């Protein structure tokens, strides 16, 4: 048993508590990891307010990387001392979705979140929020929740590969399938949005329009690959259509998860264009379409889970882009914080400030 500090969500709607927790040694098929860094993602905020639900009390954090401390019986693909990226949605390989090759839709991906993996000092059981409990100095996870860090990628940077980069890259390359020369609009310039902008540039998009409520993010967006910037308003769709000769963009990627933004992204695409929704919204966010417009515009609207990615396949591809200088992980990070800085990072998200906040241990 080892005692470490962690950010604990005691109940939905309650503030996070920085507390000491007790981790057991890894059992069969488990790995203990000392975290190097963990990204603060909007999904973590969605868990605190109940938009997404997992058993509580829980240790949140699902985007992280670190060093293997020890392994349980039967674990052979990593060893103590190895750098690993945490995979919060491991596929089982045997369900219907996995059989179709759609591992990002695995029906058992979040099964681990229902287990008690650690305890508070008073003995209260704790769940691993989205399987991996990265908001802690150390964690114990199932062996299929860790992937070796590709050679040449610093551990603190590698943390971003666990969610933001896989999601943004996959949204462009797997879901929207952006082709060279196309025009792309990206709604939301947070961590995932910045990764999506970079991915659109890598895909060879001719024009990339970034959209956000904050005018202050224009510099971040342009550094990531945006060729134009639009401050979100009631006329966002019209503004984008005006920029594109009245046609609209070929592809719009929505990284916010709000009905008004999804609708604006849809209206920003040309006839026959594609709209991909990455943002996670609540059940109260209702988006409506009439039958005539669906026929007339001929657009495609699709959801996107975890970038429709297979981490084991996509991580080496991302690593090649990083080593070649095409993908800049440090450009996604606007704040480096400690564990006790996570609540402030949530407040910045709500206020539309900054890109990715990174907890550095």
pLDDT surpassing 90 at residue 2 = yes
pLDDT surpassing 90 at residue 53 = no
Question: CA 22 to CA 6: how far, in whole Å?
Answer: 10
359: left (phi over 0), alpha (psi -120 to 50) or beta: beta
Q: How many CA atoms lie within 13 A of 302 on its CB side?
A: 16
Residue whose token pair is 């604006």: 264
Closest listed residue to residue 211, CA positions, set 175, 236, 183 = 236
Question: CA 54 to CA 39: how far, in whole Å?
Answer: 19
pLDDT in tens, 24-36: 999 999 999 999 9
pLDDT surpassing 90 at residue 185 = yes
pLDDT in tens, 108-164: 999 999 999 999 999 999 999 999 999 999 999 999 999 999 988 999 999 999 999
Tell me the C-alpha to C-alpha distance, in Å, between residue 300 and each of 93, 253, 293, 296, 331: 29, 12, 12, 12, 31
- pLDDT of 51: 87
DSSP reduced 3-state for 191: helix
- pLDDT of 264: 98
* Sheet architecture: strand order including 300-303: 228-231, 207-212, 183-187, 249-254, 269-277, 300-303
Residue spans of alpha helices (H) in the chain: 42-49, 96-99, 155-158, 164-170, 191-202, 218-224, 236-243, 259-268, 291-297, 311-323, 342-350
Give the Cβ contact number of residue 254 at 10 Å.
29
- pLDDT of 54: 87
- pLDDT of 236: 98
pLDDT in tens, 265-320: 999 999 999 999 999 998 899 999 999 999 999 999 999 999 999 999 999 999 99
Fold designation for 2-162+328-360: Quinone Oxidoreductase; Chain A, domain 1 (3.90.180)
Helix (H) or strand (E) holding 50: none
pTM here is 0.95
Bond before 19 cis per omega within 30 degrees: no
Closest listed residue to residue 33, CA positions, set 73, 92, 79 = 79
- Angle (CA) 49-52-101 rounded to 5° is 160
Residue whose token pair is 């650690």: 118
Burial (Cβ within 10 Å: 0-12, 13-18, ≥19) of residue 211: buried
CATH class belonging to 165-305: alpha beta
- pLDDT of 1: 87
Every domain of the chain and the residues it spans: 2-162+328-360, 165-305
């Amino acid at each position: 048993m080892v005692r470490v500090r962690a950010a604990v969500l005691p109940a939905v709607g309650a503030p996070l508590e920085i507390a000491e927790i007790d981790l057991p040694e890894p059992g069969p098929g488990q790995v203990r990891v000392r975290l190097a860094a963990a990204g603060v993602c909007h999904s973590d905020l969605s868990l605190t307010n109940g938009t997404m639900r997992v058993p509580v009390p829980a240790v949140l954090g699902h985007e992280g990387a670190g060093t293997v401390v020890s392994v349980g019986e039967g674990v052979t693909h990593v060893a103590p001392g190895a750098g690993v990226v945490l995979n919060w949605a491991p596929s089982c390989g045997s369900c219907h979705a996995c059989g179709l090759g759609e591992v990002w839709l695995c029906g058992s991906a979040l099964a681990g979140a229902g287990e008690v993996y650690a305890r508070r000092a008073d003995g209260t059981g704790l769940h691993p929020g989205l399987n991996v409990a990265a908001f802690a100095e150390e964690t114990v996870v199932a062996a299929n929740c860790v992937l070796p860090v590709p050679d040449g990628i610093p551990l603190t940077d590698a943390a971003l590969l666990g969610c933001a980069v896989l999601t943004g890259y996959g949204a462009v390359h797997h879901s929207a399938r952006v082709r060279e020369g196309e025009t792309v609009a990206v709604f939301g310039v947070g961590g995932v949005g910045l990764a999506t902008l970079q991915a659109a540039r890598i895909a060879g998009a001719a024009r990339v329009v970034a959209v956000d409520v904050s005018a202050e993010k224009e510099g971040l967006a342009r550094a990531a690959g945006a060729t134009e910037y639009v401050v979100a308003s009631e006329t966002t769709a019209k503004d984008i259509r005006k920029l594109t000769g009245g046609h609209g963009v070929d592809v719009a990627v929505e990284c916010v998860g709000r009905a008004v933004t999804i609708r604006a992204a849809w209206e920003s695409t040309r006839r026959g264009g594609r709209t991909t929704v990455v943002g996670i919204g609540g059940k109260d966010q209702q988006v409506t379409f009439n039958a005539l417009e669906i026929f007339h515009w001929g657009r495609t609207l699709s959801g996107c889970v975890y970038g429709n990615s297979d981490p084991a396949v996509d991580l080496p591809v991302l690593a090649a882009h990083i080593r070649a200088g095409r993908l800049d992980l440090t450009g996604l990070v606007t704040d480096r914080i400690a564990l006790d800085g996570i609540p402030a990072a949530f407040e910045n998200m709500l206020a539309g400030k900054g890109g990715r906040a990174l907890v550095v241990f």
